Homo-oligomer: A and B are copies of this chain.
Amino acid sequence: MIVSALLTSVGINLGLCILFFTLFSILRKQPGNVRVYAPRLFAEGKHQTGNHFNLDRLLPSAGWVKRAWDTSEDDLLASTGLDAVVFMRIFIFSLRVFCVAGAIGVFVLLPVNFLGHELDFSTIPNESLDLFSISNIKNGSKRLWIHFCAAYFLTGAVCYFLYFEYKYISSKRLAYFYSLKPQPHNFTILVRGIPVAAGSSFSESVESFFMEYHSSTYLSHSVVRQTSKLRGLINDAENMSRRLIRLKSRPKNQQKNLRNGFLGIFGQNVNIVDHYEKKFEDLQANVRIEQSDASSLGEEVGAAFVCFKSRYGAAISSSIQQSVNPTQWVTEQAPEPHDVYWPFFSIRFMHRWISKFVVFVASVFLTIIFVIPVLFVQGLTNLEQLETIFPYLKGLLTITFVSQVVTGYLPSLVLHLFLSVVPPIMKFFSTMQGYISHSEIEKSACSKMLLFTIWNVFFANVLTGSISSQIEIFVEPKNIPSTLAVAVPAQASFFIAYVVTSGWTSLSSELTRTMSLIGDFIGRHCLRCMNSEFHAPSIPYHSDIPKILFFQLLGITYFILAPLILPFLLVYFSLGYIIYRNQLLNIYVPKFETGGKFWPIVHNSTIFSLILMHAIAIGIFGLKKLPLASSLIVPLPVLTLLFNEYCRKRFLPIFRAYSAEALIKKDRENQNDPTMPEFYNRLVTAYHDPALMPIEYSSNSDEHTSPLLSSARV
């Protein structure tokens, strides 16, 4: 790719970004869009309702930037929770790393590369991007030692920032724990594999076991019940209720009649609203019967939430093997009450085993096979192939501008579109894998997506060719550096373009929320049914974190190869910082609180990026006939891994469980708290399956939230 193509791409995207920003700053001021641009405030009832028109509403302004910038981290923590703060720390961390890397890259490496004069100007265009990359340095040149030092320096800087960040987030996590009011999930454990004696129930078994061995701290328990059938009925009832509300909101004369017989063709002619109302009542009655059945006699699952009087008591029970038989009385810390993924409990043990295995195979398969359609479609976007397939485009493609758009823009757009389908699939996979909470599902999907992205975007693009040839490089580990050293620099310009197109564009579409905007518009103006219910969205960590981490990986791996990528990344992270702050404050509602458990994923991914960078550096110095530098890089990955090992020892346990010291301190704090009896009362009922809660459908009211959610949030 030559510089002008890159500039075209940058120009287009810059234009798009500005357009999106302008659109956003106008659209967000329209009162009708408050559900799109401030759903969080809307759901909390905090949005300003001023419908009067003034000119200011039509002028773009940057007030939102100031507001997002001004909010302090403590305010962010208070309003969005620790997970959102940790999410923002990814940007802060990346900005720090790439400020350092960018300064060295642009002011040291770039000039060194440019003055390298290795490349023959007669064969390549004068303005090729390769002029700015390490390819332009002569073999065996002493200048390569500058790159060598840069690799050491960057690794040191990244490790320093990583350590600092891990420490900071650990302290935040502890401070958050210390600042919390008593939370049900700190006092509760989940027990599985409850054995049951003949003639006794699960409930009696739990009661007697914990009274026997944990009498001083045991408080109460609630046995989990099989509710899959009930949940189906409730879903049907909800759908019906929604349909009824829609029908009723229509004018009377538009309400059609319907025959009540077979397929609505035969039978009596009845009013459609009456018909559905009758059906809805039947459903409701069914739900009530099922509920009373399930909670009185219904199938208990061999699992229970057991509540304790103290956090330390719960922690002891969850960390020590309870029974002589390790498959019985299996304990673990309970998730937050509204974070519990109830359908999980309806699945039988064998079923879970099998689905775990199937999910594993399916994710590996998806990750490896995905590349085939992508490569095929990307192949189509090559100029020559396009011309052979669509000969009538020949005229169009000879125009410089068009051809530059096609080479610089289309391939990464195609990739981007394909990639957007995957996160929901991965989340679905994780759902089937048997996690007991939404947060665990999201974390697992996040890891899956990260591996998927690194494999399919990085390696699939770098190691073009058949899948088997790609896998081959991992089978012969000693060839990895040299293979990567050849393949990675060749793709530098593609990835620079990728940052600009995929990165910048995805940020601005995140800001304008195009899909939600269109959906909301259609809903309001065509279907007129959107008033019926409203959920503020929650941030999709599993798709957003891997995306950001991937750009970090690109920055670190291309740091010594093609430092030109760094300024574009800096722009990406700066934009991202402002935009996501705005989104967190106005749009996303936290669905759960893990207390920063996503950070270890970020840490591991960064360590992987560093090791990958080292592997490529070893290969590059070998290729450039500087074997001494190549072997002197080898200690770097070893030191990095030792650093990682240290961090695992020093910080990771903090993210797994709270220490005895912290738990006992908190317990002592609450010992004389007069509100504790009331908390214990709430605790006893905190872990009840929402499907077993009494339902109320106000099928006439317009303001109505889902019964499932409303009860889960109690």
* Chain A residues near B (Cβ < 8 Å): 174, 213, 315-317, 319-327, 353, 475-477, 642, 649-654, 657, 659-662, 664
Given known A213-B664, A476-B475, A664-B213, contact A653–B321 (CB-CB < 8 A): yes
> Smallest CB–CB gap between A491 and chain B, Å?
26
Give the shortest distance, in Å, between A509 (CB) and chain B (any CB).
41
Nearest chain B residue, comparing its CB with the CB of A322: B660
Contacts of A659 in B (CB 8 A): 320-324, 326
CB neighbours of A649 from chain B (8 A): 326-327
Which residues from chain B contact A652 at a C-beta distance below 8 Å? Answer: 326
| A663 and chain B: residue at smallest CB distance | B320
With A650-B326, A651-B326, A664-B213 known as contacts, the answer to whether A657 contacts B321 (CB < 8 A) is: yes
Distance in Å from the Cβ of A395 to the closest Cβ of chain B? 50
Closest B residue to A651 by beta carbon equals B326
Cα–Cα distance between A476 and B321 once the two chains are bound (Å): 40
With A326-B651, A475-B475, A654-B326 as contacts: A321 and B660 at CB distance below 8 Å: yes
Q: Which of B320, B323, B326, B653 contacts A316 (CB 8 A)?
A: B320
B654 contacts A327, C-beta separation under 8 Å: no
Q: In the complex the two chains form, is A654's CB within 8 Å of B315's CB?
A: no
A315's nearest neighbour on chain B, judged by CB, is B320
Shortest CB-to-CB span from A522 to chain B, Å, is 49
A317 to B660, CA, bound (A): 8
Closest to A478 in B: B475
A661 to B325, CA, bound (A): 10
**Given B476, B477, B653, which contacts A326 in the complex, CB threshold below 8 Å?**
B653
**For residue A327, which residues in chain B have a CB less than 8 angstroms away from its CB?**
649-650
B661 pairs with A322, CB closer than 8 A:
yes
B-side contacts of A651, CB under 8 Å: 326
Contact of A654 among B213, B324, B661 (CB under 8 A): B324
- In the complex formed, the residue of B with least CB distance to A638 is B357
* Chain A interface SS verdict (over half): helix
Closest residue on chain B to residue A321 by CB atoms: B659
B475-A323 in contact (CB<8A): no
Q: Which residues of B contact A174 (CB under 8 A)?
A: 324
11 A-B residue pairs with CB within 8 Å: A213-B661, A319-B320, A320-B659, A320-B660, A322-B660, A324-B654, A324-B659, A326-B651, A326-B652, A326-B653, A327-B650
CB-CB under 8 A from A213, the residues of chain B are 660-661, 664
CA distance A321 to B316 in the complex (A): 10
- Which 3 pairs of residues, A with B, have the shortest CB-CB distance? A326-B653, A321-B659, A320-B660
A662 neighbours in B (Cβ, 8 Å): 324
Chain B hits for A317, CB < 8 A:
660
Residue ID in chain B nearest A318 by CB atoms: B320
- How near does chain B come to A595, taking the closest CB pair, in angstroms? 14
**Which chain B residues lie closer than 8 Å to A316 at the CB level?**
316, 320
- Rounded to whole angstroms, the CA-CA distance of A651 and B328 in the bound complex is 12
Measured in the bound complex, the distance between the Cα atoms of B326 and A317 in whole Å is 20
Across the interface, name the chain B residue whose C-beta is closest to A648: B326
Taking A213-B660, A321-B660, A353-B642 as given, write out 15 further A-B residue pairs in contact, using a Cβ cutoff of 8 Å, ordered by the A residue number. A213-B661, A315-B320, A316-B316, A317-B660, A320-B657, A322-B660, A323-B659, A324-B654, A324-B662, A325-B650, A326-B650, A326-B653, A326-B659, A327-B650, A475-B477
Set of chain B residues within 8 Å of A322, measured between Cβ atoms: 659-661
What are the residues of chain B within 8 A of A326 when measuring CB–CB? 649-654, 659
Please, how many angstroms separate the alpha-carbon atoms of A286 and B323 in the complex? 53
Determine how close the nearest CB of chain B comes to the CB of A194; give it in whole angstroms: 14
Whole-angstrom CA separation of A477 from B476 in the bound complex: 11
A325: chain B residues within 8 A (beta carbon): 650
* A213 to B657 Cα, complex, angstroms: 17
Please give the distance in Å from A599's CB to the nearest CB on chain B: 15
- Bound complex: CA A323 to CA B323 (Å): 27
B-side contacts of A664, CB under 8 Å:
213
Give CA–CA (A182, B377) in the complex, Å: 72
Contact A323 B650 (CB under 8 A): no
In the bound assembly, the distance between CA atoms of A510 and B250 in angstroms comes to: 96
Q: In whole Å, how far is A603's beta carbon from the nearest beta carbon of chain B? A: 15
The distance from the CB of A176 to the nearest CB of chain B, in whole angstroms, is 13
Contacts of A653 in B (CB 8 A): 321, 326
